[in-house]
Amino acid sequence: MSRMEDEDFRRRKIEEALEVKSLRRIISAYLNYPEAAEEDFRRYETYFRRLPPSHKALLSHLPSKFQKLRWCVSQNSYFIFEMLKAFDPPLDMSQDIDISSEQFVENVSDNHPFSGERNPFPCQRESSSGQMSSFKSDELRFGEGGNAVDGSPKAEPVYEEKKTEPLVESNTGNCSIGLAFDKKVENADGNNLKNGANHPALSSVCVSSPDWLDPALQLHVPLVDVDKVRCIIRNIVRDWASEGQIERDQCYKPILEELKRLFPDRAKGSPPACLVPGAGLGRLALEISCLGFISQGNEFSYYMMICSSFILNHTQTAKEWTIYPWVHSNCNSLSDSDQLRPVSVPDIHPASAGITEGFSMCGGDFVEVYNDPSQVGVWDAVVTCFFIDTAHNVVEYIEIISRVLKDGGVWINLGPLLYHFADMYNQEDDMSIELSLEDVKRVAIHYGFQIEKESTIETTYTTNSKSMMQNRYFAAFWTMRKKPLATTEQSIG
C-alpha cells in the first residue's frame, strides 16, 4: 500500500469513527430522555417541599401531578425504545472509536459533518437542523404495495438491499432503559398503577435489544442533546397526529394545491418528479407522493431520520402509538389535563396512504448530495417548507435548487427567514449569510427563476394548540419557474 493509499485509508477510518461516535451520541440522547425528565421532576418536588405548609395545602394536588408526568414520560420512553430497536444503523456501532492521531483528527473533524455541535436545533424549528446524517445519498424507499426497501441507488452502498420485516418482539432479555418506579403511580387518566414497570406498555420494553444498544456503548450527553429529543416528539405531532392537522393545513395544503394546479396530468406512466429538501419526519414528501408524484424527501438530521424511518417503515396501523408531547413544559398551560393529554400517532398508516411507486427518503446534507453532477436537471419540482433558512449560505441553496431543476421546472417555497446559524458566536469554522426576503428573491432571479405567484401565509410550527403562547410566522409563499438557459442571462444589479 502506497503512502497516499495508507493516508486515504486512515482518513476513511477516522471519518467512520467520528460518524460512529456522533451516532452513539444521538442514540444516547434518546436513551437519556427518561433520566433527564426524572431530574426535572425531582427538582419540581424539591421546590414543592420548600413551600410553607399553607401553600402546600393549596397545591396539594401537585405531588400527584408529578407522578402522572412520570407515567407520561415512561410512555414516551417506550415509544423511543421501540423506535431504536427497529433502527438499523448503517455503521458497526460496536467498533472501537478511539483515534490515535489527534492532529489527524483535527484535520478531518474541522469540516466533518458530525464534528461537534455545528448545527443549532431550535425547538420551534427542526425541519433540517441538528446533527448531520452520514447516509449521504442512501435512501429509505417505498415500492409497490408500500413495502419498505433500504437501498443506495446513487452512492457506494451503506445499506444493503433488503426488505424490512415487521419488528418481532420477544419477552426475554434485559431492559436497557430504566422505567420502574418504587412508588404508586397514577396514569394521566388518574387510574392507579402500582410500579410503573408492571404496566403492559412498560414491561414490553424489557425485550431483547440489538447489541449496539448495550448501555456500555452509551455516552454521557449534555442536556441540550436530550432537548432535541423532546423537540422530535413535538415534531411527531406536527407531521403524524390529528392534532397537527391545523399546522399541516396552514403549511402543506397550499403547497399541495399548487402542485395539483401546476401538474394536472400526473399519469402513472411518467409521473413528475418532486424533491423535498428538509423533509423532517416525511409527511409532506408522503403527501406529495400520494398526489401521483415521484417524491423524494431529503433530511440530514439523524434525530429526524431515525424517527421518520420508524413511522414510515415500521408502523402497522393508524394510531398505533400514544405519546405525551406537552409534559415537559409547565408554562402557559390552561390546565393540568391539557399538559398531560395523550396524542395518538400516526393519524394514518403510511404504507396504506396511496403512495406513488418511487417514494423515497434520502439522508444526507442537501449541498453534498444534490450538488452532484448526476442531479443536474433531474427534477420537475422542488418544494421547500421551512428549509431555506437552515443554510450557512442561502445563495448556495438557491443555486443548487436551480441546477437540479429541469428547464421550466418549478420551485415552491413556504417559510420564514429565521436563519439557523445567525447566533453561532465564536464558531470560526461556521458562517451564516442572512439575506432579506428582497435579496433572496433577487438572487433567485439571478439563477434563472421567474416569480409566478407569491403571498404571505400566517402559520405556526410545532405549537401546542392549547398553550397560552402561540408563536406565529408570517411565512413567504411563492412559486418560481426556472426559465430556459437562453433567457437567464441576468446578473445581480
Tens-place pLDDT, residues 270-294 = 899 999 999 999 999 999 999 999 9
Instruction: Decide which of 243 and 16 is more confident.
Output: 243
Q: Which three cell numbers stand for residue 232?
A: 422530535
pLDDT at residue number 428: 64
Maximum mean pLDDT: which of 29-38, 122-131, 149-158, 159-168 = 29-38
Question: Residue 303's closest CA among 86, 121, 73, 116?
Answer: 121
Q: Which three cell numbers stand for residue 406?
A: 429541469
* Lowest mean pLDDT segment, chosen from 259-268, 389-398, 475-484: 259-268
* Lowest mean pLDDT segment, chosen from 9-23, 276-290, 460-474: 9-23
pLDDT at residue number 480: 98
Q: Which three cell numbers stand for residue 345?
A: 400517532
Instruction: Decide which of 1 and 143 is more confident.
Output: 1
pLDDT value at 392 more than 80: yes
Interstrand relation of 192-194 and 273-277 (parallel, antiparallel or unpaired): unpaired
pLDDT value at 397 more than 70: yes
Angstrom distance (rounded) from CA 21 to CA 57? 49
pLDDT at residue number 90: 80
Q: What is the pLDDT of residues 170-212, one digit of tens each?
A: 222 222 222 222 233 334 444 433 333 333 333 333 345 787 7
Q: Per-residue confidence at 109, pLDDT binned at 50, 70, 90? A: very low
Q: What is the mean pLDDT of residues 42-65?
A: 98
Residues 6 or more apart whose Cβ sits within 8 Å of residue 296? 139, 273, 274, 275, 276, 285, 358, 359, 360, 361, 362
Share of the chain above pLDDT 70, in %: 74
| Backbone dihedral angles phi then psi of residue 20, each to the nearest 5 degrees | -60, -45
pLDDT at residue number 210: 81
Q: What is the mean pLDDT of residues 97-105?
A: 47
* Lowest mean pLDDT segment, chosen from 123-132, 322-331, 390-399: 123-132
Q: What is the pLDDT of residues 412-451, one digit of tens each?
A: 999 999 999 998 766 666 789 999 999 999 999 999 999 9
Residues 6 or more apart whose Cβ sits within 8 Å of residue 206? 173, 174, 175, 197
pLDDT at residue number 429: 64
Q: What is the CA radius of gyration of the chain?
A: 23
Computed over every residue of the chain, the mean pLDDT equals 80
Place of cell 416569480: 451
pLDDT at residue number 11: 83
Predicted TM-score (pTM) of the model is 0.81
Residues 6 or more apart whose Cβ sits within 8 Å of residue 368? 113, 136
Cis peptide before 346 (omega within 30 of 0): yes
pLDDT value at 5 more than 80: no
